[in-house]
């Protein structure tokens, strides 16, 4: 019996010894490299390319653990040259065979799941901030257009739908508006108030045979029903927003400002001339007397709605800073600066219909030195999205403007509706109805909104639903910048018209320089003034003050350059600047075309 027992023990020991290499291999393939021992490194020497690819694929998940790379960096300090070569080989194999498309798709799928998308693998649709689900018919992409199930999307938008199978016509009725679409036809009829309009679509509705569902191009339907449509290509997300309903919801918090803006609506269709003057002063405190410099500007602007033509001149006086500037930069450089900035002119135009601004100035030639000096640079402003609010005949409202401005540059967002709603809530904290107190004095009614920094932060914390601990930490960060601050806005109304307004703000506390802002407007005299001051106790101060006088005129602005003028977009100028830089530093590789001939304005 003892002999038999000994034989079993010996066999068990041999099995354990024979199993060691296999155990080591398993350990290396499933263990972070910072835990590898000599056996693990030895096993990795015999790995195939497929084994390295499989291992580093696991590393992507391992690296999610806390301080993975910190531990790896520490282990790398002890690696031998042979171990580094092995690691570099594995990395090279892995990245040479990495499927970037699959990784991107998996990343997007994970992001969609975390963001609550109903279909992480396909196209998703949000209507007024809420995801829509399609039980038996998923959204599709046809010729670059998102196609949605007709009944599902139109009923979600509040329309009554029907289908005439004999004539193959789908009909949607919402309010006084009726939409009629015929399968396989790119024409859509819109009827309202007894009038019929034909809308040409670039994709025709069709019947999906598998599900028996009618698919329609969502953008054309949404536009016809006055919904805004946003497409996020990265997340394959369609966002539909009933901007009218959203604006009405926001307007419930701004009845005071909306009433005052209504009295200004008639002015939008008139032309005005504005004369502006401004002066900026900068001073550094010295042992005996401060060193000061100044800049003065004056300009004229003729405007109508969002279109304007403005010309102004700027003159900079280095004052007591000149000697110090000469010492640092040299006499020639300072003289060149003074020649340019002592009589610097700007011309600005803005076309409200297209939302395009045009600028012509010597500064352009300073930045893009190949220009002659008489060219214009154009850049989009997005204000064309606001113009319809003023041209529709009704007075613009805060809700309409917030909805339009908020959506100007949110195509990247997956929460446009929510972002606009939250923006309106923040604005309401400062100028919403609940922010104002009301005081009557004869024919005048004065509305005053005031708050201090602590009150503003508490309101924000309540809006965000922060718990006490988080709110305390954020307050500590905020008050480390400014120890105190306050603002006050006063609007004076007489017979429904805002006749005067003032705005004051003060911020104080280390390490920031105390800031004071004061603005005042008197409609009875068509004059406005402003003052901005950064007044330090030790280093110096910076102040800006100005005034504007407005008068009605018959002349209308010329919002675009002349047909004979050369106009370049900002993008074209930046591309040419980059091309010239490449040509200077990498002449052999520079093959970009020169700046094209400027088109007419």
pLDDT bracket for residue 30 (50, 70, 90) = confident
How far is residue 375 CA from its own chain's centroid?
Answer: 29
Query: H or E stretch including 322?
Result: helix 321-329
Question: For the chain, give me the number of helices (H) and strands (E)?
Answer: 19, 27
pLDDT at 20: 39
pLDDT at 17: 35
CA-CA distance, 487 to 468, in Å (whole number)?
Answer: 25
> Residue 503 pLDDT > 60, yes or no?
yes
Which has more confidence, 428 or 601?
A: 428
CA-CA distance, 581 to 590, in Å (whole number)?
Answer: 9
CA-CA distance, 221 to 264, in Å (whole number)?
Answer: 34
Structure tokens at 571: 């993008």
Q: How confident is the model over 189-244, as pLDDT tens digits? A: 999 988 999 999 999 999 988 888 999 999 999 999 999 999 998 899 999 999 89
pLDDT at 10: 37
DSSP string, 450-479: EEEHHHHHHHHHHHHT--HHHHHHHHHHHH
Q: How confident is the model over 375-397, as pLDDT tens digits? A: 999 999 887 777 666 655 567 88
Q: How confident is the model over 111-169, as pLDDT tens digits? A: 899 999 999 999 999 999 999 998 888 899 888 889 999 999 999 999 999 999 999 99
pLDDT at 8: 37
Q: How confident is the model over 468-481, as pLDDT tens digits? A: 888 888 777 777 77
Integer Rg of the chain from CA: 34
pLDDT at 592: 47
Question: What is the average pLDDT across 551-564?
Answer: 93
> Residue 574 pLDDT > 70, yes or no?
yes
pLDDT at 5: 40
Q: How confident is the model over 393-429, as pLDDT tens digits? A: 567 889 988 888 776 766 678 999 999 999 999 999 9
Is residue 355 within 8 Å of 384, Cβ to Cβ?
yes
Which has more confidence, 66 or 326?
A: 326
Share of the chain above pLDDT 70, in %: 90
Question: What is the average pLDDT across 249-269?
Answer: 87
Is residue 262 within 8 Å of 398, Cβ to Cβ?
no
pLDDT at 507: 87
Domains, in order of start, for the chain: 20-98 (no CATH), 112-241 (3.30.457.10)
User: What's the predicted TM-score (pTM) here?
Assistant: 0.76
Where b means 16+ CB within 10 Å and e means fewer, 434-456 reads: ebbeeeeeeeebebebebebeeb
99-108, 122-131, 416-425, 568-577: lowest mean pLDDT where?
A: 99-108
Average pLDDT, the chain: 86
Q: How many CB atoms lie within 10 A of CB 204?
A: 19
Share of the chain above pLDDT 90, in %: 56
DSSP string, 224-283: HTT-EEEEETTTTEEEEE-HHHHHHHHHTT-HHHHHHHHTTGGGGGSEEEEEEEEEEEEE
User: How far lies 498's CA from each of 392, 495, 521, in Å?
Assistant: 22, 8, 10
User: How far lies 320's CA from each of 281, 323, 325, 326, in Å?
Assistant: 12, 7, 9, 11
pLDDT bracket for residue 567 (50, 70, 90) = very high
Closest C-alpha to 565, from 599, 594, 588, 516: 599
CA-CA distance, 321 to 572, in Å (whole number)?
Answer: 37
pLDDT bracket for residue 347 (50, 70, 90) = very high
pLDDT at 595: 55
> Residue 292 pLDDT > 70, yes or no?
yes
DSSP string, 288-310: SS-EEEEEEEEEEEEEETTEEEE
């Amino acid at each position: 019996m003892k002999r038999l027992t000994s034989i079993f023990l010996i066999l068990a020991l041999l099995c354990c010894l024979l199993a060691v290499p296999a155990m080591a291999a398993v350990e290396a393939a499933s263990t972070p490299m910072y835990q590898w021992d000599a056996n693990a490194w030895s096993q990795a020497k015999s790995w195939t390319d497929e084994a390295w690819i499989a291992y580093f694929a696991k590393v992507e998940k391992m690296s999610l653990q806390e301080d993975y790379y910190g531990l790896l960096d520490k282990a790398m300090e002890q690696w031998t040259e042979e171990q580094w070569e092995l690691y570099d080989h594995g990395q090279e194999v892995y990245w040479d065979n990495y499927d970037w498309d699959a990784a991107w798709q998996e990343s997007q799928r994970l992001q969609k799941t975390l963001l609550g998308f109903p279909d992480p693998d396909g196209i998703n649709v949000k209507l007024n901030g809420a995801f829509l689900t399609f039980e038996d018919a998923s959204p599709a992409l046809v010729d670059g257009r998102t196609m949605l199930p007709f009944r599902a999307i139109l009923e979600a938008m509040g329309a009554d739908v029907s289908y005439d199978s004999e004539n193959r016509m789908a009909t949607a009725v919402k309010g006084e508006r009726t939409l009629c679409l015929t399968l396989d036809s790119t024409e859509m009829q819109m009827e309202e108030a007894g009038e019929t309009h034909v809308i040409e679509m670039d994709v025709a509705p069709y019947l999906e045979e598998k599900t028996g569902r009618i698919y329609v191009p969502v953008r054309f339907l949404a536009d016809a029903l006055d919904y805004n449509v946003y497409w996020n290509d990265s997340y394959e997300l369609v966002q539909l927003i009933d901007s009218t309903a959203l604006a009405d919801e926001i307007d419930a918090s701004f009845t005071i400002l909306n009433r005052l803006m209504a009295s200004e609506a008639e002015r939008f269709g008139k032309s005005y001339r504005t004369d502006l003057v401004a002066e900026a002063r900068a001073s550094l405190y010295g042992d005996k007397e401060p060193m000061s410099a100044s800049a003065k500007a004056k300009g004229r602007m003729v405007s109508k709605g969002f279109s304007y033509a403005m010309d102004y001149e700027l003159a900079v006086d280095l004052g007591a800073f000149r000697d110090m500037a000469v010492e640092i930069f040299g006499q020639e450089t300072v003289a060149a600066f003074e020649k340019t900035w002592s009589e610097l002119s700007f011309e600005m135009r803005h076309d409200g219909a297209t939302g395009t601004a045009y600028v012509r100035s010597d500064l352009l030639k300073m930045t893009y030195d190949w220009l002659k000096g008489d060219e214009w640079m154009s850049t989009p402003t997005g204000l064309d999205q606001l113009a319809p609010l003023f041209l529709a005949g009704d007075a613009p409202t805060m809700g309409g403007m917030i909805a339009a401005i908020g959506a100007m540059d949110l195509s990247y967002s997956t929460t446009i509706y929510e972002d606009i709603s939250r923006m309106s809530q923040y604005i309401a904290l400062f100028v919403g109805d609940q922010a104002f107190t009301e005081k009557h004095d004869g024919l005048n009614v004065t509305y005053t909104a005031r708050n201090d920094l602590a009150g503003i932060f508490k309101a924000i914390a309540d809006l965000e639903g922060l718990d006490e601990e988080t709110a305390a930490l954020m307050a500590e960060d905020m008050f480390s910048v400014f120890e105190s601050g306050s603002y006050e806005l006063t609007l004076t109304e007489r017979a429904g018209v805002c006749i005067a307004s003032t705005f004051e703000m003060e911020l104080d506390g280390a390490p920031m320089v105390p800031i004071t802002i004061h603005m005042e407007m008197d409609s009875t005299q068509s004059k406005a003034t402003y003052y901005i001051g950064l007044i330090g106790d030790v280093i110096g101060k910076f102040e800006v003050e100005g005034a504007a006088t407005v008068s009605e005129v018959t002349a209308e602005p010329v919002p675009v350059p002349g047909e004979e003028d050369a106009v370049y977009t900002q993008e074209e100028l930046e591309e040419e600047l980059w091309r010239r830089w490449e040509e200077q530093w990498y002449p052999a590789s520079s093959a970009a075309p020169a700046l094209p001939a400027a088109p007419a304005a």
